[in-house]
Amino acid sequence: MRIEFKMEGGVAYFPGLSKPVSIDTDQLPEHARAELENLVKEAHFFELPGGPAPARKRGADTYQYRISIEAGGQRHTLHLVDPVENPDLQKMVSLLRKRAKEILSAGKKPGPGG
């Protein structure tokens, strides 16, 4: 399963730092792969309506998410805005945020003198 996750918004939003993160579940440890794939299944991700991004809710610190998943010959994209009301989708978004942070942290290189 290949996942592209993009998060925008928040209190300290900088457009240049909101790059999509790609996650290939085949590259994750077994427990992490199973957890993420189960959350996608529990959220019925491929059955949810896609479409344009929902209207931004009030508040400058609101996060917006674009999640594209490719698996089993299917590709589907959802656009979500915090707060995510579906509890299964919220669990999936929380885990994707965690994985994205890990990936971005691992990709950072120390600057001069660091």
The single-letter code of the amino acid at 99 is R
Residue in the block written with tokens 């010959």: 73
Note whether residue 12 is domain-resident: yes
Note whether residue 114 is domain-resident: no
Q: Cα–Cα distance between 53 and 102 in angstroms, integer?
A: 26
Number of structural domains, the chain?
Answer: 1
Q: What pLDDT does 113 receive?
A: 43
Note whether residue 66 is domain-resident: yes
Note whether residue 112 is domain-resident: no
Q: Cα–Cα distance between 78 and 45 in angstroms, integer?
A: 8
Residue 78 confidence (pLDDT) above 60: yes
Note whether residue 27 is domain-resident: yes
**Mean pLDDT for the stretch of residues 9-34:** 80
**Mean pLDDT for the stretch of residues 14-25:** 76
**Mean pLDDT for the stretch of residues 27-41:** 95
> What is 14-56 written as a DSSP string?
-GGG---EEEEGGGS-HHHHHHHHHHHHHTTGGGS---SPPPP
**The whole model's pTM is what?**
0.82
Domain containing 18 equals 2-107
Note whether residue 100 is domain-resident: yes
